Chains A and B, each alone.
Chain A
Amino acid sequence: MSKEIRDSAILNPASDTATGITEARRQESLLKTGALQNAIFNSANFSSIATDAKGVIQIFNVGAERMLGYAAAEVMNRITPAEISDPEEVIARAKALSAELGTPITPGFEALVFKASRGIEDIYELTYIRKDGSRFPAVVSVTALRDDEGVIIGYLLIGTDNTARKQIEEDRKLLDQRLRDQQFYTRSLIESNIDALITTDPHGIITDVNKQMEALTGCRRDELIGAPFKNYFTDPERAEAGIDLVLSEKKVPNYELTARARDGRETVVSYNAATFYDRERRLQGVFAAARDVTERNRLEEQVRRRTVEVEAANKELEAFSYSVSHDLRSPLRSIDGFSQAFLEDYGPLVPPEGREDLERVRRATQRMGQLIDDMLLLSRVTRREMHMEKTDMSALAAEVAGELALGSPQRDVQLTIEPGMTTTGDPQLLRIVLVNLLGNAWKFTSKREHAHVSVGTVQDPEHGPAFFVRDDGAGFDLQYKDKLFVAFQRLHGQDEFPGTGIGLATIQRAVRRHGGDVWAEGEVDRGATFYFTIPDLHVFYRVKGEQP
């Protein structure tokens, strides 16, 4: 602006004729007034509208022409600025001013200049309407023009186009709204978390908490923020050590602490905590989430208690089995022993039918003894503590088959055992499985003159790698295959093939304790195949695959 003034001065020839100090001052004053007026009226950035006392436009500068689209001649001496203003705003302004100043103000030009006319500085926002009907926001400054006596002779309305600023304001509002939305979103995430959340600075001073943390401590957010984290736990040293641990490890899971609320209520919580950083990767502090583990601990305690109960029940069961083993067998021995003694001592005095009756008593006794033994074995298989080790199944099968062959030397059983079968399992249980399966194979081929029994492995489409024991004996009707593994269920009569019906149930338990499965295929008079899986058999298969 000052440059423009100087430029105007250079152009003014009066500045060259210096005739005295007073004259020079007068010149200078005139120069300045003229220059100012020029500057103001030629400025395209300000609309300067001067009116007479009634409001009729007298001066309409270049800026006004440019902003409003009217030529000065079109408005001068014709209209008031109220006619290029938004009429509703003019009415609203009149109402507001009437209320504010306690005097009726006409909704027209008066409303635009009333304050200025009372000597009150007045700058306000107003929507101007261009000649083409389009509108723009303007900031208008109103000044009353007075003569030497102070009587108002007109008004000067200087306006600036506020569009750009309005736009910036709008943008900022939008940004602010977005920021608030974002903050609300973040906050609601923090608040809706079921964990008690907390942030601390690197010194363990709380910087933020959520509602759950307030509930946990019984303290308000503003009380918590700024206080040391450790203050709210039964073991402050451990709490502080936890923060230090996070700072050194960057992440700490499942750190248990007991929070103590203001009212003394204690809550066991498990902390998951990590350090957090700003955009420049500068350490900001620790973010920690505490979950109430009271319920979890209670459940764990319950599990522990139940385990103790189960163990006690198992002990009882063991004691019971022991009693069964001893006490039930003992009278059986007496029945059998004295029956035999009777037969030996008094047999000749008894008719053959009587001796036969007593023989039946003895057979029944021995069968009951077998039943007790089988039940005990079944119970032992169930409660046995598993000791897993790599087991040579081929060798085990050969050993068991050897014992069977020794027990019935008159039998002709051709045995085939696949070499190199190994698995990882409890050798005692695996032995029980093979003793029962091979024992069955021996038993159910007992009516064959030449029997064939084989032990091997197959790749079952459903179960994967499986062991099998196959015989060509009596077999069974497939429609009863579901009954096979049920204790005491038998598919053959005692006189046909003796047994207690517990063997396959025992096998099933032994196999299932390894996480495996057992099933059978068969056909009456064409033999049976029993399959079982011991889940880590794949190890064996892979090894086998590598060494073809």
Chain B
Amino acid sequence: MSDKFILLVEDNPDDVALTLRALKKNNVANEVIVAGDGAEALEYLMATGKYAGRATSDLPEVVLLDLKLPKVGGLEVLRAMRTDPQTRLLPVVILTSSVEEQDVITSYDLGANSYIRKPVNFEQFLEAVRELGLYWLVLNQAPPVGH
């Protein structure tokens, strides 16, 4: 289980800290890779730019993707992932503040696997992260790599 890692795409350092704290609180010990914007996330996944040379088959168990990101937005990241054969089936959980109907629809349209709105209340957030970790890291059967 420890080789299963999470890619967290989040530009807000507070949210990063709180998410990491919530994961830790819920005893999710998996490694978390943090990408500060959409461009970095794509470089990581596609092993380009500063991640050039990384094995493209080495993929996270799940991507936690914020929508409002600098440089390349979350929906753009999702679209790029879904057109790349390597990341086409990679589970993506949208983790965002927005409940705009259009965002929800577009996210699912582009192939998001789940859509979670970050609650203001930290206890609720904790619960959400707990369930999320349990589901995607433990219960969910990930697609085989390369398909």
Write the residues of chain A forming the contact surface with B, with a CB cutoff of 8 angstroms: 318, 321-322, 325-327, 329-334, 336-341, 362, 365-366, 368-369, 373, 376, 380
Chain A nearest CB, measured from B76 CB (Å): 16
**Interchain Cβ contacts under 8 Å between A and B, 6 examples:** A318-B100, A325-B98, A330-B12, A333-B118, A334-B14, A336-B121
- Beyond A333-B118, A337-B14, A340-B123, 18 additional pairs, beta carbon < 8 A: A318-B100, A325-B98, A326-B96, A326-B98, A329-B120, A330-B97, A333-B15, A333-B18, A334-B12, A336-B120, A337-B18, A338-B14, A341-B21, A341-B122, A365-B120, A366-B120, A369-B119, A380-B101
Tier of interface size on chain B:
20 to 34
Q: Which of B79-133 contact A (CB under 8 A)?
A: 96-101, 103, 118-123, 125
| CB contacts between A and B, total, < 8 Å | 64
Expressed in whole angstroms, the Cα–Cα distance for A338 and B68 within the complex equals 22
What is the CB-to-nearest-CB distance from B14 to chain A, in angstroms, rounded to a whole number? 4
Residue contact B97 to A325, C-beta cutoff 8 Å: yes
Minimum CB–CB distance for B15 against chain A, Å:
7
CA distance A334 to B121 in the complex (A): 10
Cβ of A72 to closest chain B Cβ, rounded Å: 120
A-B pairs with the 4 shortest C-beta distances?
Answer: A369-B120, A334-B14, A337-B18, A340-B122
Q: Given A333-B118, A336-B122, A337-B125, are A326 and B97 also a contact pair (CB < 8 Å)?
A: yes
For A336, list chain B residues within 8 Å (CB). Answer: 120-122
A268 to B14, CA, bound (A): 64
Determine the distance from Cα of A389 to Cα of B122 in the docked complex, in whole angstroms: 39
List of B residues within 8 angstroms of A373 by Cβ? 99
Looking at A326, A332, A365, A380, the one whose CB has the most chain B CB atoms below 10 A away is: A326
Partner pick for A337 among B67, B96, B99, B122, CB 8 A cutoff: B122
On whether the beta carbons of A333 and B100 are closer than 8 Å, the reply is: no
- Return the CB mask of B30-55 against A: 1 if under 8 Å, else 0: 00000000000000000000000000
With a CB–CB cut-off of 8 A, which chain A residues contact B67?
326
Per the bound structure, the CA–CA distance linking A405 and B97 in Å amounts to 27
Asked whether A326 lies within 8 Å of B68 as measured between CB atoms, the reply is yes
A331 to B97, CA, bound (A): 11
Chain A residues with Cβ below 8 Å from B119 are 333, 369
In chain A, what residue has the closest Cβ to B101? Answer: A380
A326 contact set on B, CB distance < 8 A: 67-68, 96-98
> Which residues of chain A are within 8 angstroms of B97 by Cβ–Cβ distance?
325-327, 329-330, 333
B15, B99, B125: the one contacting A376 at CB < 8 Å is: B99
- Nearest-CB residue, chain A, relative to B96: A326
CB-nearest residue of chain B relative to A367?
Answer: B120
Q: Which of A321, A333, A365 is close to B14, meaning CB atoms less than 8 Å apart?
A: A333
* Nearest Cβ on chain A to B104's Cβ, whole angstroms: 12
Residues on B with C-beta less than 8 A from A322 are: 98, 100, 103
Shortest B78–chain A CB gap in Å is 17
| A332–B21 CB distance below 8 A | no
Q: How far is the CA of A5 from the CA of B97 in the complex (A)?
A: 129
Residue of A nearest to B22 (CB): A337
Contact call A325/B121, Cβ cutoff below 8 A: no
Interface residues of B in 1-42 (CB under 8 A from A): 12, 14-15, 18, 21
Bound-state Cα–Cα, A341 to B22, Å: 10
By a CB distance below 8 angstroms, the chain A residues around B120 are 329, 332-333, 336, 365-366, 368-369
